[in-house]
Chain A
Amino acid sequence: MTLLHRSSRRYLTRHPWLMGLSVLGVAIGVAVVVAIDLANTSASRAFELSAETVTGAATHQVVGAGGTLDDDVYRRLRAAGLRPSAPVVEGYGSLQQGDRTFQVVGIAPLADAPFRPYLGTGAGSDLDLGQFMTDDAALMSARTAEDLGLASGDTLRVGVEGTTQPVVLSGLIAPQNERTRRAVANLLVVDVSTAQRLFDQSGQLSRIDLLAPSDASAQEAYLARVREALPDGAQLQRSDTRTETVAQMTKAFDLNLTALSLLALIVGAFLIYNTMTFSVVQRRALIGQLRALGVTRGEVFRLVLGEAAVLGGVGSVFGLLLGIVLASGLVQLLAQTINDLYFVVEVSELSISTWTLAKGALLGMGTTLAAALPPAQEATAASVSTVLRRSTRESTLRRRAPGWAGLGLLVAGAGSLLLLGTEQSIWAGYGALFCVLVGTAFMIPWAVVGLSNGVRPLLGRVAGVIGRMAARGVVTNLSRTGVAIAALTIAIASTVGVGVMIDSFRGTVTSWLEQSLQADVYVQPPSLVFRRSTATIDSAVARRLRDVKGVEGAYSVRRVTVQANVGRTDLVAVEPGPETADVYQLKAGTPESAWPAVRAGPSVLVSEPYSYRYDVGVGDTLRLQTDRGQQPFAVKGVYYDYGSDLGVTLMSRSTYEQFYDDRGVSGLAFAAADTTSVDALIADMRASVAGLQDVLIRSNRALRETSMRVFDRTFTITTVLRLLAIAVAFIGVLTALMALALERRREMGVLRATGMTPPQVGGYLTLQSSLMGAIAGILSLPLGYVLAYVLVFVINKRSFGWTLQLTVPGDVLVQSLVLAVVAAFLAGLYPTWRMARSSPALALQDE
């Protein structure tokens, strides 16, 4: 180690708090990015793994138009000699033991062996096939059974869509490898007939798995034979289509989380910049001495970057560890959100991918080095003689502040152009946001000078000379205060931006729910996915509910997933009533033309996200796969809908029954007679279906509350990320103030020597840090508003296709201002305390 490196190492170890805070800043930034990435990867990996496991060796599958397939199709394929082929019935159920969600897969054991050999259901297996196929028996992973304290012969109580049924655990699956062990952890394997009974799908299959030859021409011939054997409505597709579709579903959601996680890293970069600048500023004299002794600019540059690399390296390592810990908490939150919004996924363990860790470390190191570049440049660019004069740099910076502000304006302008120049790219949206953030950061020193000079007379009147000094101090130490204020401004502005976006979203959803929930009582089976329940209400239950005294009107809704020419489509069939036109507010098309067409025949409405996602609008034709083959449906309107970002296609119940054989009902809405109280009606309804399928019977208000609870739950991760960004910014301000305090020890010594008491010094510094907070708070409001605008009208629109009403609640703004001042005040406490109690003699002695 050379003497220069030794000197550098000693500098770092002599300032452990500075080093510690910098490492913490990098660590938190890296941890957030890694945690979100790990949580995302784990959730999608869990889904992929279970999908791959259930798919097994199948290359293709036959699926039905409305999600199910008559089991007669399977017999036709077998009769045509298309083997191996295997019928599958699948869905999700909850197991009372352990309160866990399982993927229930119904198979035909003998036909299944070529597809899923690890289940051990082939002819040569130990399994009692007779019992498995005739009794209601199930297999589960040996490890899972052990975790739940279950053994062969135990009775399991499986709950599906509100109905609980017993099955006997007849065998345990002991996979050969770890991958399969993880994949089958949440699998419950039953016979096809048992699954049909559990899911109330008598005579219906979810799909038929096929194993096509690998040779291209043989495969083509095989697939042609399959197509020939298929009736209308049945469709042949590649087995991996489903995993791809699911990945598409959550793409925008994942991207937004990743972008938010990067915010913490951006704020972290400010922290590094702060630290490295401070380490240069504080050692300006030392660097000058080294330069006078013959150390070249390149050597100084490498030295500063080397220090940054050490901080970045240590911070990244801690960040990775912290990220893994954070991810194990976040992954459950994320899984909950995915379950609420998209599909069922049970994430039992974190998949730690090397790529994610490498990415995190690279990002941490890269950000640190990039943030250290300007201070390293600063240390070397100045000539030796000016390096020895600190005030030169501050005055240069003040002089250059308007120029920087102009540059900032250009960068922000470039961001705006990026928005105008692109229409759909989410990355361009975030790129523009980044430009606005960076552009504003450039403008902050100039704004700080203006605001500090502006409030100086006022502070002078309120706090006398101390007030004037406090305001002046912010300007004369601009290289330190400017960066700290910039970091805090960006963190607070993000809070304002995201807060206003969530509030706007919430407000829009609340008024949409008020508009769309006009019935008095809603009934639906319990579902594992809140927003996309396709569960079916038992027909007996529906009949009884309609007959309850006090019910004046009843409207059904059916939700299924079908294939359309544009992709997988959630289809809703409704019974249009007199108030339907009020419930579905049209964005495009008119109620006068749309509803009569929808009532009359093959016409549909599409929701706003669907229209955006698939670029479908009024006048277009959608081709849906039905039980009568692929059929054209005219799009007559686009309606506002905030229930699903995947989008929905709506048709009348009569049209649905014309094209689909399914007669199920997913939900019922009831109007109460004027003379009946809603609470009494709900009590009567519950009594009427007691002992039958367990359905959720809720009042309009309760359903609205539940919806808003789920809404808030889906934003929990966002809130966590915002808090972490603020934590990093807080550390940034603390570092800056600590640095400033240390740097101004001599000045404080002089003030003490000239008669300033410790409380006065404390008051002076506290006033200064609070002023910095107030400036950050004030600057963050317009920036926050711009961020909110971009998030609401660009990012949200491009990610999900929703139109939201931007509302700026006063309390968010006041809270942000208070948060900024309090954060800066708290960050200033420790340095102030240290300065106030330090000995003036020592400070004056210091060179």
Chain B
Amino acid sequence: MPDAPSPLVQLDALTKTYREGEQDRTVLQEISLRLNRGDFSVLMGRSGAGKSTLLNLISGIDQPTSGRVQIGDTDLTGKSETARTRFRRSHVGFVFQSFNLISTLTVGENVRLPLELAGAAPRANRERGQAMLDRVGLADRADQFPDRLSGGEQQRVAVARALAHEPLLVLADEPTGNLDYDTGQAVLTLLSDLVTDTDTTLLVATHDPEVLPRADRVLHLHGGTLHEEVPEYIRSETRSAADER
């Protein structure tokens, strides 16, 4: 029997506690998880369940109260804030619910920003940026500012930006939350195609049951712990959404 591939994301007993006034509130409790290279995983849970917190811990934006986060060979837990930032700029891509394009940069510049931060050569930057925009069908909008684009177009730019620097891991936080059904589906298709093509690991935090059929794994965050089964309320939501269509 061949050895199991080493996981790209490895979380061990991850706990995150916030201090609220005089009391501590534990958002994540002893979470352990393995994500392999190329996995498309969905993280579900009610509002406030801690989905965004978990993404922040995985990307190194935030530090766990205890436990360990390892991406590839890098243990993020022991690293300084600057080292985590440098790791993130090279190896992690982000897609947000509200697009979060930099309003003072053009579409093309937004896509090139992670490349520039990662220290790529300007000429290669331009070519890669243009190729990514071409890939998401917005090559002709490169010189426009984000506020000239529709929501769907902005999210496509965000997808291009998240993948431009060929990260190991893409984290998407409610990527379809601000989009109508069709646009959301189009963005999801684009995102899943791109990660499949590049063998990138994708973790999508979402409420949207429409994402489930595309996923290799579905994770459910509830009461601060992670469960790898789809609860009944999500299954029924998925069925009724399909019926409506």
Indicate the member of A14, A289, A292, A295 with the most B CB atoms within 10 Å.
A292
Residues in B whose Cβ lies below 8 Å from that of A216: none
A295, B85: Cβ atoms closer than 8 Å? yes
Given known contacts A289-B102, A295-B117, A298-B82, is B109 in contact with A6 (CB within 8 Å)?
A: yes
Chain B residue nearest in CB terms to A296? B85
- Any chain A CB within 8 A of the CB of B220? no
B61, A3: Cβ atoms closer than 8 Å? no
B103, A286: Cβ atoms closer than 8 Å? yes
Given known contacts A3-B109, A294-B114, A383-B62, is B104 in contact with A14 (CB within 8 Å)?
A: yes
Distance (whole angstroms) from the CB of B113 to the closest CB of chain A: 5
Given known contacts A3-B105, A385-B62, is B94 in contact with A293 (CB within 8 Å)?
A: yes
Beyond known contacts A6-B104, A290-B102: 12 more, CB 8 A cutoff: A3-B105, A3-B113, A3-B116, A6-B109, A7-B102, A291-B61, A295-B89, A297-B85, A384-B61, A384-B62, A385-B56, A385-B62
Distance (whole angstroms) from the CB of A845 to the closest CB of chain B: 10
A385 to B59, CA, bound (A): 11
- Any chain B CB within 8 A of the CB of A10? yes
Chain B residue nearest in CB terms to A384? B61
Residues in B whose Cβ lies below 8 Å from that of A847: 98
B85, A289: Cβ atoms closer than 8 Å? no
A295 to B105, CA, bound (A): 15
- Any chain B CB within 8 A of the CB of A715? no
Distance (whole angstroms) from the CB of A684 to the closest CB of chain B: 83
A10 to B117, CA, bound (A): 19
Chain B residue nearest in CB terms to A293? B114
B82, A296: Cβ atoms closer than 8 Å? yes
- Any chain B CB within 8 A of the CB of A17? no
Can you show 9 pairs from A to B with CB atoms below 8 A apart? A2-B116, A286-B103, A289-B102, A293-B89, A293-B117, A295-B117, A296-B85, A383-B61, A383-B81
Against A, the Cβ 8 Å flags (1 = close, 0 = not) of B115-145 are 0111000000000000000000000000000
A294, B82: Cβ atoms closer than 8 Å? no
Residues in A whose Cβ lies below 8 Å from that of B113: 3, 293
A14 to B109, CA, bound (A): 17
- Any chain B CB within 8 A of the CB of A8? yes
Distance (whole angstroms) from the CB of B90 to the closest CB of chain A: 7
Distance (whole angstroms) from the CB of A837 to the closest CB of chain B: 21
A286 to B102, CA, bound (A): 6
A384 to B102, CA, bound (A): 15
Indicate the member of A2, A10, A293, A847 with the most B CB atoms within 10 Å.
A293
Indicate the member of A11, A285, A385 with the most B CB atoms within 10 Å.
A385
A297 to B92, CA, bound (A): 18
A781 to B112, CA, bound (A): 55
Distance (whole angstroms) from the CB of A140 to the closest CB of chain B: 64
**Interface, chain B (partner A; CB < 8 A):** 56, 59, 61-62, 81-82, 85-86, 88-90, 92, 94, 96, 98, 100-105, 109, 112-114, 116-118, 161
A291, B100: Cβ atoms closer than 8 Å? no
A295 to B86, CA, bound (A): 8
A598 to B90, CA, bound (A): 91
Residues in A whose Cβ lies below 8 Å from that of B89: 293-295
A7 to B103, CA, bound (A): 8
Chain B residue nearest in CB terms to A12? B104
A292, B62: Cβ atoms closer than 8 Å? no
Distance (whole angstroms) from the CB of B164 to the closest CB of chain A: 11
Residues in A whose Cβ lies below 8 Å from that of B161: 293
Residues in A whose Cβ lies below 8 Å from that of B92: 294
Question: Which A-B residue pairs are the 4 nearest by beta carbons?
Answer: A294-B89, A10-B104, A7-B104, A384-B61
Residues in A whose Cβ lies below 8 Å from that of B116: 2-3
Distance (whole angstroms) from the CB of A563 to the closest CB of chain B: 69
B94, A286: Cβ atoms closer than 8 Å? no
A2 to B98, CA, bound (A): 25
Residues in B whose Cβ lies below 8 Å from that of A11: 104
Give the residue of A6, A8, A296 whose beta carbon is less than 8 angstroms from that of B86: A296
**Interface, chain A (partner B; CB < 8 A):** 2-3, 6-8, 10-11, 14, 285-286, 289-298, 383-385, 847
Distance (whole angstroms) from the CB of B240 to the closest CB of chain A: 31
Residues in B whose Cβ lies below 8 Å from that of A10: 104-105
Chain B residue nearest in CB terms to A383? B62
B81, A292: Cβ atoms closer than 8 Å? no
Distance (whole angstroms) from the CB of B85 to the closest CB of chain A: 5
Given known contacts A292-B61, A295-B117, is B105 in contact with A6 (CB within 8 Å)?
A: yes
Chain B residue nearest in CB terms to A10? B104
Residues in A whose Cβ lies below 8 Å from that of B100: 285, 289, 292
B102, A8: Cβ atoms closer than 8 Å? no
Residues in B whose Cβ lies below 8 Å from that of A385: 56, 61-62
Indicate the member of A8, A289, A297 with the most B CB atoms within 10 Å.
A289
Given known contacts A286-B104, A293-B117, A847-B98, is B59 in contact with A3 (CB within 8 Å)?
A: no
A289 to B99, CA, bound (A): 10
B82, A3: Cβ atoms closer than 8 Å? no
Give the residue of A14, A289, A292, A383 whose beta carbon is less than 8 angstroms from that of B59: A292
B117, A8: Cβ atoms closer than 8 Å? no
Residues in A whose Cβ lies below 8 Å from that of B59: 292
A3 to B116, CA, bound (A): 8
Distance (whole angstroms) from the CB of A101 to the closest CB of chain B: 59
Give the residue of A2, A294, A297 whose beta carbon is less than 8 angstroms from that of B90: A294
Distance (whole angstroms) from the CB of B16 to the closest CB of chain A: 11
A3, B85: Cβ atoms closer than 8 Å? no
Residues in B whose Cβ lies below 8 Å from that of A295: 85, 89, 117
A292 to B88, CA, bound (A): 8
Residues in A whose Cβ lies below 8 Å from that of B103: 286
A383 to B18, CA, bound (A): 14
Residues in A whose Cβ lies below 8 Å from that of B56: 384-385
A812 to B104, CA, bound (A): 48
Distance (whole angstroms) from the CB of B116 to the closest CB of chain A: 5
A383 to B56, CA, bound (A): 11
Residues in B whose Cβ lies below 8 Å from that of A296: 82, 85-86
A383 to B59, CA, bound (A): 13
Chain B residue nearest in CB terms to A7? B104
Give the residue of B90, B104, B118 whose beta carbon is less than 8 angstroms from that of A8: B104
A294 to B109, CA, bound (A): 15
A332 to B34, CA, bound (A): 80
Distance (whole angstroms) from the CB of B39 to the closest CB of chain A: 22
Chain A residue nearest in CB terms to B165? A294
Residues in A whose Cβ lies below 8 Å from that of B102: 7, 286, 289-290
A297, B81: Cβ atoms closer than 8 Å? yes
A492 to B85, CA, bound (A): 46
Residues in B whose Cβ lies below 8 Å from that of A292: 59, 61, 88, 94, 96, 100
Distance (whole angstroms) from the CB of B187 to the closest CB of chain A: 18
Residues in A whose Cβ lies below 8 Å from that of B114: 293-294
A125 to B192, CA, bound (A): 100
B85, A294: Cβ atoms closer than 8 Å? yes
B105, A7: Cβ atoms closer than 8 Å? yes
Residues in B whose Cβ lies below 8 Å from that of A8: 104
Chain A residue nearest in CB terms to B92? A294
Residues in B whose Cβ lies below 8 Å from that of A14: 104
A292 to B86, CA, bound (A): 11
Residues in B whose Cβ lies below 8 Å from that of A286: 102-104
Chain A residue nearest in CB terms to B105? A7
Distance (whole angstroms) from the CB of A199 to the closest CB of chain B: 73
Residues in A whose Cβ lies below 8 Å from that of B118: 294
Distance (whole angstroms) from the CB of B36 to the closest CB of chain A: 24
Chain A residue nearest in CB terms to B88? A294
Chain A residue nearest in CB terms to B125? A3
Distance (whole angstroms) from the CB of A310 to the closest CB of chain B: 15
A218 to B27, CA, bound (A): 93
Chain A residue nearest in CB terms to B116? A3
Chain A residue nearest in CB terms to B52? A385
B104, A297: Cβ atoms closer than 8 Å? no
A692 to B96, CA, bound (A): 95
Distance (whole angstroms) from the CB of B35 to the closest CB of chain A: 20
Indicate the member of B86, B88, B102 with the most A CB atoms within 10 Å.
B102
Indicate the member of B85, B89, B90, B112 with the most A CB atoms within 10 Å.
B85
A291, B85: Cβ atoms closer than 8 Å? yes
